Structure 1
Amino acid sequence: MASWNSIPLEITYEVLGWVAFLSWTVGAYPQIVLNFRRKSVVGLNFDFVVLNLTKQSAYLIYNASLYFSSAVQKQYFEKYGKEQMIPVAANDVAFSIHAVLMTAVTLCQIAIYERGNQRVSKISFGIVAAVWLGAAVCVFLALPTHSWLWLISIFK
């Protein structure tokens, strides 16, 4: 990561990043607790949960790749210059991991709790299948040229 010009600015960035992390993560718990207390997911929109898992998984791939991969970071700096900061912080990765886990917990609740006659729609299944098929095609396109930055931008 590039250096900051100001220590107070860096501290503010870190503090606000973690405040945002806490604010966004708190929102996952009321639905999970409600489902647990009722032992039911009747009324929960299953399409939203499935589509949200796809969205959060793609966001996790983007954040973790850009944050942890030296190959991706190298391509980022080659494209944007060494003076640029990697646009992903630790709190972004933490949020992504948390969001995927909480959405997976909600999906498990859908599998085990009373759900009435609710189902995930065929349209949602189709969207999710098309998204991940498209992502797989992009992986195969990126492999020969090692275009990792381009590849993870697909997941953004």
Structure 2
Amino acid sequence: MAIGFLEILSIVFGWVYFFAWSLSFYPQSLLSWSRKSTSGSTVDFPFLNSLGFFAYFVSNLVFFYSPLIREQYDRRHEGLAPTVHINDIWFAGHGFLLSVITASQYFLPHVWGFRPSHGSKPSRFIMGVFSGCIIGVVFIVLVVLRSPHRNSVDGDVVRSSWVWLDATYAISYVKLVVTLIKYTPQVIVNYKNKSTVGWSISQILLDFAGGVLSITQQGIDSYLQGDWSGITGNPVKFALGNVSMMYDAVFVTQHYVLYPGGKEKAAETDSLLGRQPEDEERRIS
């Protein structure tokens, strides 16, 4: 009975965190739309996020649909299959699309009817990371193209030579790099402004909830299987899953503890709900 309950709980947590993470892409763009401004936030986050989710989308597509990549993965990992599912592809594609839409609010404010604001151009640091990721992937692809064994599916060759699987890995690692640093510019902006007005806390709360449920599901599944290799066998993936949650904790602290800004945030909430301050005053009176 207990095992059955945990299996159901794992499924429920899986769906809830999937929807929480999917919904987390909307609050920032909706908040900017309601304020008709992107002030208080920076384009660095959606700009870098667009690259990360594009890389994630492409690598998931290849891992899921390419017979060659799946066979090379099988040879290198002793008969295992890539742990990519169709929902991973949909999630990555959805994340890329929403990140591009959010970034366009900074790059094309006149199209959205927004007021010009600071932070609408990527910082030099983020541009360097963006360029570095692309250069790194191109370099690995060129190395693979020069390898005479790039299309091999022989186990010994795949484990010791450059093959197309390595190029796919290079693309997927872009998401790793992006996740590690994409929040940093906004943390700094909030610190300099001594405010989080303009930066949606709703997306952070959804992201944090999704992260907690994802890790909990991972723990439940490992317990049910009697095998903790899903965590201990891939510490990088497990650590990466916690990076966003650590940043989320920083944003929550900034928003609710360090820079509460009650009046400004109340007005921001009214704007997001489509309610004007004078409407609220009229309702109270």
Seen in structure 2, the aligned counterparts of structure 1 residues 16 and 70 have a Cα distance that, compared at 3 Å, is farther
Asked if residue 92 in structure 1 is aligned to residue 108 in structure 2, the reply is: no
Match of 2:131 in 1: 129
Match of 1:3 in 2: none
SS at structure 2 position matched to 1:143:
helix
RMSD: 2.3
Seen in structure 2, the aligned counterparts of structure 1 residues 36 and 58 have a Cα distance that, compared at 3 Å, is same
Asked if residue 102 in structure 1 is aligned to residue 103 in structure 2, the reply is: no
Q: Which amino acid aligns with 1:114?
A: R
Report the alpha carbon displacement of residue 39 of structure 1 after superposing the two structures with TM: 1.8
Structure 2: stretches of 5+ with no match in the other structure: 1-6, 151-162, 173-285
Q: Measure the CA separation in 1 of the matches of 2:10 and 2:71.
A: 23
Match of 2:167 in 1: 151
Q: Measure the CA separation in 2 of the matches of 1:14 and 1:61.
A: 26
1:110-125, aligned counterparts within 5 Å? 110=106, 111-112=108-109, 113-118=114-119, 119-125=121-127
Whether the aligned pair in 2 keeps the contact of 1:17 and 1:91 (CA below 8 Å) is no
Match of 2:140 in 1: 138
Match of 1:55 in 2: 52
Report the alpha carbon displacement of residue 14 of structure 1 after superposing the two structures with TM: 7.0
Whether the aligned pair in 1 keeps the contact of 2:25 and 2:98 (CA below 8 Å) is yes
Larger radius of gyration: 2
Q: Which amino acid aligns with 1:138?
A: I
The percentage of counterpart residues that share the same residue type is 28
Match of 1:5 in 2: none
How many pairs are equivalent? 147
Report the alpha carbon displacement of residue 62 of structure 1 after superposing the two structures with TM: 1.6
Seen in structure 2, the aligned counterparts of structure 1 residues 16 and 76 have a Cα distance that, compared at 3 Å, is farther
TM-score norm. by structure 2 comes to 0.47
Q: Which amino acid aligns with 2:21?
A: W
Match of 1:6 in 2: none
Tell me: higher relative CO, structure 1 or 2? Use CA pairs within 8 A at least 6 residues apart: 1
Structure 1: stretches of 5+ with no match in the other structure: 1-9
